[in-house]
Amino acid sequence: MQIINVAILENIQSIVDGYHYRLAHDKTFAIVAAAQYGEQLEALLTDHAVDVLLLEPYVPASPDNYNPFPVWSTLERVFEKQPALHVLVITKAGDPALIKQAVSNGVCGYILKEDAWTIRSLVEVVKTIAQGGVHFSRRAYEILLDRGRAEQTLSPRQLEALSLCAAYPDQTTHQLAAQMNIAPSTFRSLLSAAYKQLDTHTLRAAVEEARHRGWII
């Protein structure tokens, strides 16, 4: 019997315990690691052989930085080293822009925490993901197909740039650009385009407006 190694990024302990409860009854699974903070993710995936990552994208960056961690830039680096990794997002955030961003960053599934039926079927869902399939809970799929709600959003890269600025407000443009593996000039261009679409003129205003619209946390 082939064991499916599962890792978890989730900062609420009761939810982590729930995943253990759902998966522990099936000997197919081994939960090999769990982390509460986003800055632990890359080391977790380097130190353990992981087939499926259960991912809450909106966790604090670190114990000293409770700004939401910009997970997508980290996943981009991880996928370069571990292209066989399968990522299942399980989150409370159901905005169309966020779901589209997750898809564009290579996740295999997206479940809303409010989708109780899908959560109860977590064993089957994780097996599907591990075998190379995809799974979107019904509510997430309906939101993704709601084109009217999904229009007029920022691009995934613009959202990623704003998320980095929100998570690390004290870092320089050069430092933030390095996290996205792009030139500082490209990073500034992403922000400028975001300002224009959001009808704002400063970084702080752009971050606040994107949060107000539910596009970043």
Q: What is the pLDDT of residue 77?
A: 84
SS (H, E, C) 92-134: CCCCHHHHHHHHHCCCCEEEECCCHHHHHCHHHHHHHHHCCCC
Structural domain contains residue 133 = yes
Q: Does residue 25 sit in the same domain as residue 82?
A: yes
Which residue has better confidence, 146 or 50? Answer: 50
- pLDDT tens digit string along 192-212? 999 999 999 999 999 999 888
Which of 95, 114, 148 represents a domain boundary (last residue)? 148
Q: Does residue 59 sit in the same domain as residue 137?
A: yes
Q: Does residue 41 sit in the same domain as residue 106?
A: yes
Domain count, the chain: 2
Q: How far apart are CA 73 and CA 75, in angstroms?
A: 5
Identify the bridge partners of residue 90 per DSSP, sorted by sequence position: 111
Q: Does residue 61 sit in the same domain as residue 110?
A: yes
What CATH number has the domain bearing residue 184? 1.10.10.10
Which of 148, 172, 198 represents a domain boundary (last residue)? 148
Q: Does residue 83 sit in the same domain as residue 181?
A: no
Q: How far out from the chain centre does Cα 50 lie? A: 17
Q: Does residue 69 sit in the same domain as residue 112?
A: yes
Per the structure, the complete domain to which residue 164 belongs is given by: 154-212
Positive or negative CA dihedral for 189, 167, 19, 51?
Answer: positive
Structural domain contains residue 159 = yes
User: Coil, helix or strand for 64?
Assistant: coil
pLDDT grade for 102, boundaries at 50, 70 and 90: confident
Structural domain contains residue 18 = yes
Q: Does residue 86 sit in the same domain as residue 186?
A: no
Q: What is the pLDDT of residue 152?
A: 54
Q: How many CB atoms lie within 10 A of CB 210?
A: 25
Flag whether pLDDT at 30 surpasses 70.
yes
What CATH number has the domain bearing residue 116? 3.40.50.2300
Please calculate the CA angle 30-82-132 and round it to the nearest 5 degrees: 65
- pLDDT tens digit string along 149-202? 545 578 888 988 999 999 999 999 999 999 998 999 999 999 999 999 999 999
Q: How far apart are CA 23 and CA 44, in angstroms?
A: 20
Q: Does residue 48 sit in the same domain as residue 119?
A: yes
Kind of pairing, strands 52-55 and 86-91?
A: parallel
**pTM given for the model:** 0.85
